[in-house]
C-alpha cells in the first residue's frame, strides 16, 4: 500500500514537472515575496524555470544532486545563454549527505599565447574593450571539463541521460522572457561587432518569442556520444578554435587539450555557531566572506537593526578592508602563494578593524593591504540544489559579461566568455567591475583569473542550513554575505532574505552602492560621517538563488525576484 502510494506520488510529481517543462511559460515574479516555495525533500533554484524543472526531473528519476547539477547546468546553456555556458567556467562547492565537503574549480585559463601587456597600447595604457569584447577577451573554457569531473566522482546516472533534456530543450526551443528580450536587444550592436553573424541578430526580440538552438543540440549530441574528448579534442574543439582564430583570437587546440578542471579544498570557517563552506582561490569569495564575517563578529551585529546606519557602517568598513586585501594578495593559487589562513584569521581581521570609528568613514585611500608575511615553501549564474538524500551543491558559472565576449560560435551554437578581463590588464588599473588587481593577478599564460564567485554552503549545529550564491561580479561577495547575515542574525526565511534590498562597498571606488529601493535609512547621516553614496536608478546588486533547510527539515527556496529565477521542488 505504502509502495503504491509512493509510486502514485512519483507519477503526480512527474506529471507536474513535465507540465512545467512543456509549458515553459514564465509567470511574472512579484517584487517582494515573503515565503518561497516549500518542499518536503528536494529542490533546485536556478535562473530559469526550465532548468530548475529539468534538475528536479533528474532527482525524481532517482539521480542525486550531482546528476541534477549536470542536467541543470546544461539546461541553463539553452535557457539562459546570458550566462549559462559551455564556453565559460565556474565553481562548485558541495556537502554530501554524510557531511563531507569539497569543491571543483573549472575556471577558465589564459591561453598559452597570452602576454602580460596584451591589452595595452604603445604608451602602456589599457585599450578600451580589448579584454571584454571579441575574440581576444576569451579564456580557455572549463565548464565541460568540470561537468565530466563531477560526474566521474559523484554521478549515478549515465551522462547521456543527464544531457538529453538539454538536447530536447534546445530542439524544442525556449520561450524568451521580457528580461531576456531586453537583454538580447540591448547587446545587439556588440553581437554585430564581435561576430560575422549569429542567430541573435536574426530579429528584434519580443517577450514570448521562441528560440531553437539546433546547432547547440548537435554539439550536445556529439558531447553525449564522445564525452569530454569532444569539447577539448574533437570536432567541437576544431569548430571553436577555427571560429576564434578567424576573428583574430589566440586560443589554440593545444590550449583546449591542456585544460584540466581541479578539485580544491574549500574555505571552511566558523561564524558564531555557523560553519561556512565556500570557494577558495582562484575564487575570492570564500576568503572575503571569511574576512568580513571575522571582522564584524566581535561587534555582535545582530544587536543593530537590519540595514540600519550601524549595520551599513560595520559591513562597509569590513568590506573596504577585505577588498583591499583581495586586490593585493589574491590570484591563481597555482601561480601565487596565498596566505589563506592568516587572511581569514580572527586575529588578523580584528587588527584590521582597530582603526574603525563609528564617527567617521575610513578613507579607502588610507587603507592598503594588511601586513602578512608570506612564507615561501564580472555574466554569471548561480543555482542551488539539495537532493532527497541530503546532498547539497552550490554552483556559480560565468561567461563574465552578459553573453561573455559576445562571440557566438555559430557552428557550435554557444557563446564564449570574456573572462580575460578578470585578470589585471594592467596591475593597479580597475577592470569592468572596478576591481583592482596586482601582480598576483597579472596576465600569464595558463593562469586562472581571480574570481568573485562565492558558491557557499552554511551549516548550523553540525547540520545543513543553507545553500546560496549569486552572480554580479564584484557584488557577488557582498550579496552572499548579506544573505548569510539575514538568515543567521535576523532569522529571515529564504525568500524574505533574497528579496531584501542590498548595498555594496569594494574599497575602490570609495563609495557605497545602494539598490534604488533602499529606503530604510536616510543617507544624510552616512554622508555626515564621510561616506559617499551611489544610488543609480536601475542598479541590481546580485541575484541570489538559495535554499534554506527549515527547522522541521523541509526546504524553502529563495528565487531572486531581480530575475526570472525559479524554485522547483518536491
Interface ranges with ligand DON (CB under 6 A): 378-380, 398, 400, 419, 422, 451-453, 471-473, 476
The β-bridge partners of 174 are 211
**Shortest distance in whole angstroms from residue 106 CB to ligand DON:** 12
Q: Evaluate whether 425 touches 128 at the Cβ level (below 8 Å).
A: no
Nearest to 156 by CA among 72, 18, 61, 224: 61
> Concatenated DSSP letters for 25-64?
PPPPPPS--SS--EESS-EEEESSHHHHHHHHHHHHTT--
Alpha-carbon separation of residue 218 from 39, 147, 163, 214, 236 (angstroms) = 35, 18, 12, 6, 10
Burial grade of 535 (CB within 10 A; 0-12, 13-18, 19 or more): middle
Q: Which residue, 64 or 441, is less far from ligand DON as judged by CB?
A: 441
Please give the grid coordinates belonging to residue 97.
549527505
**Cα–Cα dist 92/68, whole Å:** 13
Q: Which residue, 473 or 558, is less far from ligand DON as judged by CB?
A: 473
Q: Which residue, 68 or 423, is less far from ligand DON as judged by CB?
A: 423
- The alpha carbon of 268 is separated from its chain's Cα centroid by a whole number of angstroms, namely 19
Q: Which residue, 56 or 136, is less far from ligand DON as judged by CB?
A: 136
Q: Which sign, positive or negative, has the C-alpha torsion 187, 192, 198, 200?
A: positive
Half-sphere exposure at residue 513, Cβ-oriented, CA atoms within 13 angstroms: 22
Taking each helix axis as running N to C, give the angle between helix 143-154 and helix 159-172, from 0 to 180 degrees, rounded to the nearest 10.
140
Instruction: Indicate which residue of 380, 396, 454, 478 is catalytic.
Output: 380
Residues 6+ apart with CB under 8 A from 390: 96, 97, 464
Q: Which residue, 130 or 172, is less far from ligand DON as judged by CB?
A: 130
Q: Which residue, 132 or 362, is less far from ligand DON as judged by CB?
A: 132
Q: Please say if 522 is a catalytic residue.
A: no
- 10 Å Cβ neighbour count for 392? 25
**Cα–Cα dist 503/449, whole Å:** 25
Taking each helix axis as running N to C, give the angle between helix 159-172 and helix 49-60, from 0 to 180 degrees, rounded to the nearest 10.
150
Half-sphere exposure at residue 28, Cβ-oriented, CA atoms within 13 angstroms: 5
* 262-264 sheet: strands from edge to edge: 262-264, 101-106, 89-95, 392-398, 380-386, 43-46, 566-569
Q: Evaluate whether 99 touches 277 at the Cβ level (below 8 Å).
A: no
- 10 Å Cβ neighbour count for 5? 9
**Shortest distance in whole angstroms from residue 407 CB to ligand DON:** 16
Q: Which residue, 316 or 379, is less far from ligand DON as judged by CB?
A: 379
**Shortest distance in whole angstroms from residue 479 CB to ligand DON:** 10
Q: Which residue, 307 or 396, is less far from ligand DON as judged by CB?
A: 396
Q: Evaluate whether 417 touches 399 at the Cβ level (below 8 Å).
A: yes
Give the Cα-Cα-Cα angle 252, 257, 260 (nearest 5 degrees): 120
Q: Which residue, 162 or 467, is less far from ligand DON as judged by CB?
A: 467
| Active site amino acids | 380
Amino acid at each position: 500500500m505504502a509502495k503504491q502510494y509512493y509510486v502514485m506520488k512519483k507519477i503526480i510529481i512527474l506529471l507536474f514537472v513535465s507540465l512545467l517543462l512543456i509549458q515553459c511559460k514564465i509567470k511574472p515574479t512579484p517584487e517582494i515575496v515573503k515565503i518561497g516555495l516549500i518542499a518536503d525533500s528536494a529542490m533546485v533554484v536556478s535562473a530559469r524555470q526550465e532548468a530548475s524543472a529539468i534538475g528536479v526531473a533528474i532527482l525524481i528519476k532517482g539521480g542525486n544532486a550531482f546528476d541534477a547539477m549536470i542536467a541543470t547546468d546544461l539546461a541553463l546553456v539553452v535557457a539562459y545563454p546570458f550566462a549559462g555556458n559551455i564556453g565559460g567556467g565556474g565553481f562548485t562547492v558541495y556537502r554530501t549527505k554524510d557531511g563531507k565537503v569539497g569543491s571543483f574549480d573549472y575556471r577558465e585559463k589564459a591561453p598559452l599565447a597570452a602576454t602580460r601587456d596584451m591589452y595595452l597600447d604603445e604608451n602602456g595604457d589599457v585599450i578600451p574593450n580589448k579584454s571584454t569584447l571579441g575574440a581576444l577577451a576569451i579564456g580557455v573554457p572549463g565548464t565541460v571539463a568540470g561537468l565530466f569531473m563531477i560526474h566521474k566522482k559523484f554521478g549515478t546516472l549515465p551522462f547521456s541521460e543527464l544531457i538529453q533534456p538539454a538536447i530536447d530543450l534546445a530542439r524544442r526551443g525556449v520561450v524568451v522572457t521580457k528580461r531576456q528580450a531586453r537583454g538580447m536587444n540591448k547587446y545587439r550592436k556588440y553581437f554585430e561587432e564581435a561576430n560575422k553573424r549569429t542567430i541573435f541578430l536574426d530579429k528584434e526580440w519580443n517577450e514570448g518569442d521562441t528560440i531553437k538552438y539546433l546547432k547547440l543540440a548537435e554539439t550536445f549530441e556529439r558531447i553525449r556520444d564522445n564525452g569530454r574528448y569532444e569539447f577539448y579534442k574533437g570536432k567541437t574543439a576544431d569548430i571553436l578554435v577555427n571560429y576564434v582564430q578567424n576573428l583574430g583570437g589566440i586560443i589554440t587546440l593545444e590550449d583546449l587539450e591542456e585544460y584540466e578542471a581541479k578539485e580544491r579544498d574549500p574555505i571552511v570557517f566558523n561564524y558564531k555557531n555557523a560553519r561556512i563552506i565556500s570557494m577558495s582561490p582562484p575564487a575570492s569569495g570564500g576568503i572575503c566572506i571569511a574576512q568580513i564575517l571575522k571582522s564584524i563578529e566581535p561587534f555582535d551585529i545582530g544587536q543593530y537593526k537590519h540595514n540600519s546606519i550601524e549595520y551599513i557602517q560595520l559591513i562597509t568598513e569590513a568590506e573596504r578592508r577585505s577588498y583591499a586585501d583581495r586586490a593585493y594578495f589574491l590570484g591563481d593559487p597555482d601561480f601565487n602563494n596565498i596566505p589563506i589562513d592568516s587572511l581569514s584569521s580572527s586575529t588578523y581581521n580584528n587588527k584590521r578593524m582597530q582603526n574603525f570609528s563609528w564617527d567617521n568613514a575610513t578613507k579607502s585611500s588610507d587603507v592598503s593591504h594588511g601586513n602578512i608575511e608570506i612564507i615561501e615553501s564580472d555574466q554569471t549564474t548561480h543555482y542551488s540544489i539539495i537532493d532527497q538524500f541530503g546532498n547539497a551543491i552550490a554552483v556559480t558559472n560565468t561567461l563574465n559579461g552578459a553573453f561573455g565576449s559576445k562571440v557566438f560560435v555559430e557552428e557550435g551554437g554557444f557563446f564564449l566568455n570574456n573572462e580575460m578581463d578578470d585578470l589585471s590588464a594592467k596591475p593597479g588599473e580597475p577592470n569592468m567591475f572596478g576591481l583592482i588587481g596586482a601582480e598576483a593577478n597579472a596576465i600569464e599564460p595558463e593562469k586562472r583569473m581571480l574570481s568573485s564567485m562565492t558558491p557557499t554552503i552554511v551549516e548550523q549545529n553540525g547540520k545543513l542550513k543553507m545553500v546560496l550564491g549569486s552572480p554580479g561580479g564584484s557584488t557577488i561577495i557582498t550579496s552572499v554575505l548579506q544573505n548569510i547575515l539575514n538568515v543567521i542574525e535576523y532569522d529571515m526565511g529564504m525568500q524574505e532574505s533574497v528579496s531584501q534590498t542590498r548595498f555594496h562597498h569594494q574599497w575602490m571606488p570609495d563609495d557605497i552602492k545602494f539598490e534604488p529601493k533602499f529606503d530604510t535609512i536616510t543617507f544624510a547621516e552616512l554622508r555626515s560621517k564621510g561616506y559617499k553614496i551611489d544610488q543609480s536608478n536601475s542598479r541590481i546588486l546580485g541575484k541570489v538563488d538559495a535554499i534554506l533547510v527549515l527547522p522541521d527539515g523541509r526546504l524553502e527556496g529563495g528565487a531572486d525576484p531581480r530575475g526570472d529565477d525559479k524554485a522547483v521542488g518536491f
